[in-house]
Structure 1
Amino acid sequence: MTLRLHSWPTPNGHKLHILLEELGLPYELVPVNIGAGEQFRPEFLAITPNHRIPALEDSEGPDGQPLALFESGAIMIYLCEKTGSPLLPATGAARHLCLQWLMFQMGGVGPMFGQYNHFAAYAPEKIPYAITRYANEVQRLHRVLEKRLDQSAFLAGAEYSIADIATFPWLRNPDRRGIDLDHFPAVKRWHDAIAARPAVQRGVQVLAENQRRGPMTEKERENMFGATQFQAR
């Protein structure tokens, strides 16, 4: 089996880095520098028309045929089903709870945290309404997680799962979103337990040397947020 992961050190990239480390699967890493605009290269667009990382190529997909996938949640489900990993329960209520909290991350935590990050840190114009709106939503989502994790060791229940793996990278570095995890003790307990896992520590170090430091350049801003994104391809 040959897996090629096209990725970059973002929360969505780290989901797959962590999962692959947890599964112990060998893979070829293909860095896609989104600040430099590499997500718009024809060879990457041939894998994912959505020009977003991560994307996965499996030379031995279903029925032995090559398969290319994009969307981090879909890739996580695929890898767990392919390997039979208990990180996605195979049947029953535990499976549905896992998928529920995975979708909560995909539809809520990721998009809302991302919008806060954009308007608070990257937007060229500071718009108080937008910053306040998304800051409030970040706080609300933390309260949802706090309520769940006050009742359950992990998001899907008693066992660690891909729902936790998907959510954890977005909750790292909470100070960047004005969050003090001491105000969310159940979330903090969960966060610290996951951060201590060796596979998680390895996963967040993947491509860490490429993590952007300092202010965003105008080229990076254009490639990530400007008109370049919206060109027909």
Structure 2
Amino acid sequence: MNEFENLVAVVTGGASGIGAAIADRLHAGGARVAVLDLNPHDAAATHFAVQTDVANSASVGAAIAAVAAKFGRIDIVVNNAGIGAQGTIADNDDEEWARVFSINVIGIARVTRAALPWLLRSPAAAIVNTSSIAATAGLPERALYSASKGAVLALTRAMAADHLRNGIRVNCVSPGTADTPWIGRLLAKAANPEAERAALNTRQPHGRLVDAQEVADAVAYLASPRSGSTVGISLAVDGGMEQLRLRVR
């Protein structure tokens, strides 16, 4: 479990939900972990937490500089920070589209661009972006969110092509509906939270929500120096939702 020994990992949005599980998993594997989050006070005490707004280039630059000053290197970047959005294309105005893309997509560019000089020096450089089942499956009332995660998937492949010969592997993980605080808040707003949770469970072929730790383990595989031949892929952690078509019971 020490595949990340002596390596430094940056995890954006690493103070809660899937990001927190990722940060803890990399730390358990031996990495020194920096959490970049808008609310860093929720990060585990074992991590170096830096308040960061991935929608702001100056904030990102200062955060990456702080990580480099603290550890002297950056080997792994997990671009996990993101926000959700509900509705059809009629339900979100231009400002909301710009806000979601700035965080979910351009945020990846900002963080990676700032970390790139350090990644180029690393003997085990890896980038893992968080996409979603929404990138490959049409989900109702998720137009804006799906568009942003589809862009993450395309961006991941382009980044992989650009940087592989520089010694940097780029991949993404695509979770199904995960049991996270965001989903919890959505369920709390539903007219019948229990029925809504049951519907989400049923939507995924294995019959339940994805656990954040399962996503974290997938990210650890993609980020690991042991996975040197895995590059440019989207690893689905979705209970079979992307590829399987089971008969309705």
> Taking structure 1 as the reference length, what is the TM-score of the superposition?
0.35
Give 1 or 2: higher strand fraction: 2
Q: Which has the higher contact order (CA 8 A, sep 6+)?
A: 1
> Taking structure 2 as the reference length, what is the TM-score of the superposition?
0.33
Give 1 or 2: higher helix fraction: 1
